[in-house]
Amino acid sequence: MPQSPNGRCLSGVISIAAVLLISAVPSWSQIPYASQAGDMMLFESAGATRVVEKVRAAAPGVMVEVFVKPGDTVRKGQVLGHTELDSTKLQLDLAEHVMRSKANVDAARGQAEAWTVTREETEAAVRRRSAERSRLDWAMAMEKMYHSNYEVQMDAEDAQRIQYEYWKSQYEKRFFRSPVDGVVSEVLVEPGKSVNFATHAFTVSNESTFSIPVTVPAEMAQAAIDKASLPIRTADGKSVSKGLVDSVIDDPRETGRKIIRLLVKAVDFPAAVRPKLSGMKFDVLLPELADSARER
């Protein structure tokens, strides 16, 4: 047991010092993630900004319907309007019909299986010497041909599925959807007007929600993708909350890094902090760093 110069045991002194140290740790270290702190990592975010989202066209077209007006409250994913749908919807319906129609595949499978049975029966007949070898050769050739046809039909089915997914994405591009909960502050395209790719058509704002981008190594971004939210704290360590994981994208400035976009509500912070949220930086805690490190 370590002792002081006067011979007294230091264990009591160390215990008292430990208690004082723990009591001085900010509340951040006492939330449920404290026991995991050694396996996690904090990243500093960029400054928080109020949520103001520009909704842009994903494909060229003519605006057919607008369902909202400035001042309307909308939910994330709500349809704000759409361009013409008829031709794209027709292609989607046709692709879906072809994809779901398995008649050709089922027929090819049945023929292949039938010729397998015929070949097996012919082999048995040849062994009993009740059929010529040439008949077996013919049965084997037919079995091979129909199995090849079945494989071709299976490949065609994969192509049909890809075609369906393509037209499904093209159809979805005709819709303008709200990216966040908020209020429509601008409607910039009226029905009958043309839009090009990336035309700014709507603006959705949320005065009570802030966007917090944080850049992390790409290998750690999976931890955010797998979580609905991440714990955050103000840079001074005094206020702790959670940020909703809104999106994870590649960092255009640096290969191998990703940007996690978190959304936080002002109401989740003390009243004294709320006026200071705009521009404030946060510490973001990414879980499961130990697992990521072990994989590397």
Cβ(64)–Cβ(193) under 8 Å? no
DSSP string, 51-79: EEEEEE-SS-EEEEEE---TT-EE-TT-E
Of the ranges 28-42, 144-158, 179-193, 272-286, which one carries the lowest mean pLDDT score?
A: 28-42
Neighbours of 221 (CB within 10 A): 21
Of the ranges 17-31, 106-120, 189-203, 208-222, which one carries the lowest mean pLDDT score?
A: 17-31
- pLDDT per residue as tens digits for the range 251-288: 999 999 999 999 999 999 999 899 999 999 999 988 65
- pLDDT per residue as tens digits for the range 198-239: 999 999 999 999 999 999 999 888 878 878 899 999 877 888
Of 248, 202, 231, nearest to 83 by C-alpha is 202
pLDDT band at 109 (very low <50, low <70, confident <90, very high): confident
Of 214, 234, 230, nearest to 286 by C-alpha is 230
Model pLDDT, residue 288:
56
Rounded CA separation 260/244 (Å): 10
What angle is formed at CA 30 by the lines to CA 24 and CA 35, rounded to 5 degrees? 120
Query: What percent of the chain has a predicted confidence (pLDDT) above 70?
Result: 83
For the residues 26-48, what does the mean pLDDT come to? 58
Model pLDDT, residue 42:
86
Global pTM exceeds 0.75: no
Residue 66 has pLDDT above 70, yes or no: yes
Of 286, 142, 124, nearest to 219 by C-alpha is 286
Of 44, 43, 49, nearest to 264 by C-alpha is 49
